[in-house]
Amino acid sequence: MLLKDQVALVTGGSRGIGRGIVQALAKEGAKVAFVYKGSAEAAGKLVEEITQSGGTAQAFQGDVAQPDTATGIVEKVLSDWGRIDILVNNAGIIRDGLFVRMKPEEWDVVVTTNLGGTFRFCRAVVEQMVFRQRSGRIVNVSSVAAQHVNAGQCNYSASKGAVNSFTRALAVEVAGRNVTVNAVAPGFIETDMSEAVRNKAGDLIKKMIPAKRLGKPEDIAATVVFLCSPAASYITGQVITVDGGLSLGAVAV
């Protein structure tokens, strides 16, 4: 086990990519606390599943866009488990729509959740990692949409592009304290979030992906585990794209 007895905190952990990350970290021996917003049932099931297979997990309800969510949950995890070795900022939402019709609240909620949530959780753990532990791993879940944009995602692309820049900027400040900060940029992954797009254009999307398949949450989770493992201690400030080659932009011949 790569992460035996380490303490991990994952946002957006009950479904989709986050669920895969929680499972993978637990499988590698980490004690995992995760945050969910609405899916209490899925969260409960996940805790049960991990506990039954001998792992340790606990779920916290909270909206990462709210100002006090991060500090409250981080305090609780620290009082229960004494440290936080790994933070995965995965919680993210979409509110797709063409910009000419985009409402300010659709912009705000996406930016406040995807970028603001990442900021708040990083801010809540950074002193613990930098000053007290002098070690830590932060992984932010970004998206290929930060670089390879789609119509209807001005808010989402902007938020993920900002996450990438934030990742690099924070990495520089904390690198000297044995804290690494990286991002993973998934392509099309089979989750609830991508369901509408897959319904509309699934076959077309598959044709655009050189690997000829959509990604699975496990594909992203494996990269997160790697970035949190001892093997990745010298990697920081990087955005690792995991998309089956989608972003290479090659034309099938």
Partner 1 sequence: MTKEEIYAKVAATLVEALNVDDDQVTPTATLQGDLGAESIDFLDVVFRLEREFNIKIPRGELFPESIFQADPDFVKDGKVTARGIAELEAKMPYAELGDFKKSPTIENIGNLFTVELITRYIQSKLA
Q: Which residues are catalytic?
A: 156
What angle separates helix 16-27 from helix 40-52, to the nearest 10 degrees? Answer: 20
d(C-alpha 14, C-alpha 102), whole Å? 28
| Composition of the chain by helix, strand, coil, percent to 5 | 50, 15, 30
Name the nearest CA neighbour of 79 among 137, 138, 33, 12. 33
Structure tokens that stand for 192 in this block: 């609830």
Residue 48 is a binding residue for partner 1 (CB under 8 A) = no
Q: Closest distance between partner 1 and the C-beta of residue 164, in Å?
A: 22
Residue 130 or 205 with smaller CB distance to partner 1? 130
Asked if 56 and 25 count as a contact pair (C-beta separation under 8 A), the reply is no
d(C-alpha 151, C-alpha 233), whole Å? 37
- Give the binding range for partner 1 (CB under 8 A) out of 47-55, 59-67, 106-114, 170-178: 170-178
Residue 168 is a binding residue for partner 1 (CB under 8 A) = no
Residue 230 is a binding residue for partner 1 (CB under 8 A) = no
Q: Which of residues 89-128 bind partner 1 (CB under 8 A)?
A: 127
Q: Closest distance between partner 1 and the C-beta of residue 130, in Å?
A: 7
Residue 177 or 198 with smaller CB distance to partner 1? 177
Q: Closest distance between partner 1 and the C-beta of residue 126, in Å?
A: 10
Q: Which of residues 123-142 bind partner 1 (CB under 8 A)?
A: 127, 130-131
From 41, 48, 80, 173, residue interacting with partner 1 (rule: CB under 8 A): 173
DSSP state of 252: P
d(C-alpha 239, C-alpha 164), whole Å? 7
Residue 111 or 130 with smaller CB distance to partner 1? 130
Binding site for partner 1 (CB under 8 A): 127, 130-131, 173-174, 176-177
